[in-house]
């Protein structure tokens, strides 16, 4: 079974450029999450969707960040314009909306903004 698939795995870009990260959740999962991980702050939830609808975006740092989920099998996280402090590993995860809430993570997208 395919797990959560993220792309790109690595992205190096210059400050001011637009960055788009992509995620395909596990088929049949109805919740999708975007997390950011840094050494200083650990895993932070940016936004999560349930049945393609954004439920909680309180973790999105600022207007430069946006996320969409146009259908059940695809989501994007966009940063425009990017800044060096956005450098981090961005994880996408999915789950079945059921008691407990076990998340299945993708391999992550490592973003470096120069």
Partner 1 sequence: EDKVVQSPLSLVVHEGDTVTLNCSYEVTNFRSLLWYKQEKKAPTFLFMLTSSGIEKKSGRLSSILDKKELFSILNITATQTGDSAVYLCAVVKLNTDKLIFGTGTRLQVFP
Binding site for partner 1 (CB under 8 A): 31, 33, 35, 41-45, 48, 50, 55-56, 91, 95, 97, 99-108
Q: How far is the CB of 60 from partner 1 (least distance, A)?
A: 13
Contact 30, 72 (CB under 8 A): yes
Dihedral class, residue 16 (left if φ above 0, else alpha if ψ from -120 to 50, else beta): left
- Residue among 81 and 110 whose Cβ is closer to partner 1: 110
Residues 108 and 2: their CA atoms lie apart, in Å, by: 15
**Min. distance of Cβ 11 from partner 1 in angstroms?**
16
18 or 44: CB nearest partner 1: 44
Task: Work out how close the CB of 45 gets to partner 1 at its nearest, in angstroms, rounded to a whole number.
Answer: 6
Q: What is the CA radius of gyration of the chain?
A: 13
* Minimum CB distance to partner 1 smaller for 46 or for 113: 46
CB 76 within 8 A of CB 68: yes
């Amino acid at each position: 079974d395919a797990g959560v698939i993220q792309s790109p795995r690595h992205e190096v870009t210059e400050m001011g450029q637009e960055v788009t990260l992509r995620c395909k959740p596990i088929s049949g999962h109805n919740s999708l999450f975007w997390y950011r991980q840094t050494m200083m702050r650990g895993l932070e939830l940016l936004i999560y969707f349930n049945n393609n609808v954004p439920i909680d975006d309180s973790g999105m740092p600022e207007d430069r960040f946006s996320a969409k989920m146009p259908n059940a099998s695809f989501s994007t996280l966009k940063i425009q314009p990017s800044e060096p402090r956005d450098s981090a590993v961005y994880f996408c995860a999915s789950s079945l909306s059921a008691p407990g809430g076990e998340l299945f993570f993708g391999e992550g997208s490592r973003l470096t903004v120069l």
